[in-house]
Amino acid sequence: MGLTRKIVLDKRRIGRLNGFKREIKLLNEIAKIGQKKEVELLCCERIVAKTNEKLSCQVLEVEKRNGEDLKASKMTETTVQELDKVKIERQSFLTAKTGLEKSETAFLEKDLVEPKIAMDALKTELDSVGMDAKQSLVMLKSTASIVSQSDNREASFIGEQQEPENGTKSFTLELKSKTKRISSRK
């Protein structure tokens, strides 16, 4: 028994050793798989890190664009407000201009009416003076014809023809000059 027992024990030991070998082999395979997984995990971590970097850059770009958009929006808003102010100022200027034009038109009309009235008065006065001048001219002509007829009668009465006196000559010349002045005024 000794030997059989030893053989059985040795077989058991060999079986255990074989089991241990298998377990070691399995553990080595698991370790290799673990190393591969660890390498894969490291690669995944690197990929995640790179992806995180890209995403953070994209986020910064988006934030930058949003900041620019916000600035542009504020600029647009202030421009619209300034444009509204300019429109209001323009409208007030147009209102003031219209008011000034109306008051200026009224003032000019008043300035035109007063001289027109004065001109009408002067025209009426000139017309009356012209009528008076016409009447005076008619009277002078009739007087001159009467005087010349009386001079002709005296000359024919006396039988001599005399030249008109100096007074009649001057009267005739004066009458002609007044006639010329009156006709030139017309």
Q: In the numeric block, which tokens belong to residue 57?
A: 């850059």
Global confidence as pTM: 0.33
Q: Which long-range contacts (CB under 8 A, 24 or more apart) does 170-178 make?
A: 171/144, 171/147, 172/144, 175/137, 175/140, 175/141, 175/144, 178/133, 178/136, 178/137, 178/140
How many CB atoms sit inside 10 A of residue 148's CB? 13
pLDDT-wise least confident of 69-73, 136-140, 155-159: 155-159
Number of domains the chain is built from? 1
Q: In the numeric block, which tokens belong to residue 14?
A: 């060999």
Task: List, in order, residues 6 or more apart from 136 with CB less than 8 Å away.
Answer: 178
Task: List, in order, residues 6 or more apart from 65 with CB less than 8 Å away.
Answer: none
Q: In the numeric block, which tokens belong to residue 105?
A: 């038109």
The pLDDT tens digits for 88-135 are 988 888 888 888 877 777 777 777 777 778 778 777 777 766 666 677
The pLDDT tens digits for 25-68 are 888 888 888 788 788 878 888 888 888 888 888 888 888 887 78
The residue range of the domain holding 150 is: 2-185
Task: Assign 162 a pLDDT band (cuts: 50, 70, 90).
Answer: very low
